[in-house]
Amino acid sequence: MSAVLNDEGLDLLFRRARTHSAWQRLLPALSKGNVEKTISAPVTAVIGYDARFYEHLPKLFPQTDARSWFLNTPELAEETARRNSSLQGAYLMLAARALGLDCGPMSGFDRAKVDHEFFPRGQPVQDDFHQEYFPDSHIKTNFLCNLGYGDAAKLHPRNPRLDFNEACKLL
């Protein structure tokens, strides 16, 4: 075997690795009705969006100057970023369900607290992850999603749904 880990890899796996016992950074931002279900979930994903996503468009959409569409229209940029984040979050839930996981999306939380804790802007960062990926974050939280294997015995009956013609209009 000729490949060896460099110092950064050794630090990550051995020298700086720690056994964590505190995982509740999200709890202060949750509404009371979401605390218990979030504590019991193996994973809670924070689905967010980059408010300055358009800065990446010259690389991701090079066929036209799409960056200019959003540069001076913050309302359009915000709306587009949030919509695309919602779509990507839905794809995440479909992928999780396709793998046999259950999902618990929610919006009962204080977005500003979640943003402050997980996507700090212009403040000292507490860990290497933020320093590397969010040096001056423009990431904003859209919604949260618990992922894992739910307890089917504790499901509430499914709420009523609108009929197709109540929710849709064919043009």
pLDDT digits (tens, 9 = 90+) for 126-148: 555 545 555 567 899 999 999 99
Q: Kindly state the tokens that stand for 153.
A: 């015995």
Higher confidence at residue 113 or residue 19?
A: 113
- Alpha-carbon distance 77 to 55, whole Å? 11
Higher confidence at residue 22 or residue 133?
A: 22
User: Hey, which bits of the chain come out as E strands?
Assistant: 43-50, 102-106, 139-148
Tens digits of residue pLDDT in 109-131? 999 999 988 888 755 555 555 45
Q: What is the pLDDT of residue 135?
A: 54
At residue 159, does pLDDT exceed 80? Answer: yes
Task: Give the pLDDT band (50/70/90) at residue 88.
Answer: very high
Written as one letter, the residue type at 8 is E
Task: Give the pLDDT band (50/70/90) at residue 158.
Answer: confident
At residue 7, does pLDDT exceed 70? Answer: yes
Higher confidence at residue 1 or residue 170?
A: 170
All domains of the chain in start order, with CATH: 23-149 (3.40.109.10)
Q: What is the pLDDT of residue 148?
A: 93
From 8-22, 98-112, 139-153, the region with the lowest mean pLDDT: 8-22
